[in-house]
Copies of this chain bind each other. A is one copy, B any other.
Amino acid sequence: MPPSADKRRAILDGALGTFARDGYTRASIDAISAAAGVSTRTIYNHFADKSHLFATVIEESAGRVADAQLDLLDRHLRKVTDLEADLVAFALAWLRSTTGFEDHFLLVRQVNAEARHIPPAAIDAWQENGPRRVQRVLGERLTELAERGLLRVPDPRRAAVHFMMLISAHNPSFRADRVPDSELDDLAAAGVHAFLYGYHPGNPPVG
Contact = CB atoms under 8 A, between A and B. Distances in A.
Interface of A: 21-23, 25-26, 108-117, 123, 127, 130-131, 142, 146, 149-153, 155, 158-159, 161-162, 164-166, 168-176, 190-191, 194-205
Contact of A172 (B111, B116, B159, B161): B161
8 contacts: A25-B26, A115-B174, A146-B201, A152-B199, A153-B199, A165-B165, A198-B203, A200-B204
B155 A190 contact: yes
B114 A173 contact: no
A127 B177 CA distance: 11
A166 B109 CA distance: 20
A169 B162 contact: yes
A151 B112 contact: no
B23 A114 contact: yes
Contact of A196 (B114, B150, B198, B204): B198
A109 B22 CA distance: 14
A162 B151 contact: no
Nearest to A108: B173
A32 B47 CA distance: 33
Given A26-B117, A112-B113, A153-B199, 14 more contacts: A111-B174, A112-B174, A152-B200, A152-B201, A162-B166, A162-B190, A165-B165, A166-B166, A168-B172, A200-B204, A202-B205, A203-B203, A203-B205, A205-B205
Nearest to A110: B113
Nearest to A155: B190
A86 to B, nearest CB: 14
Contacts of A198: 194-198, 203
A197 B195 contact: no
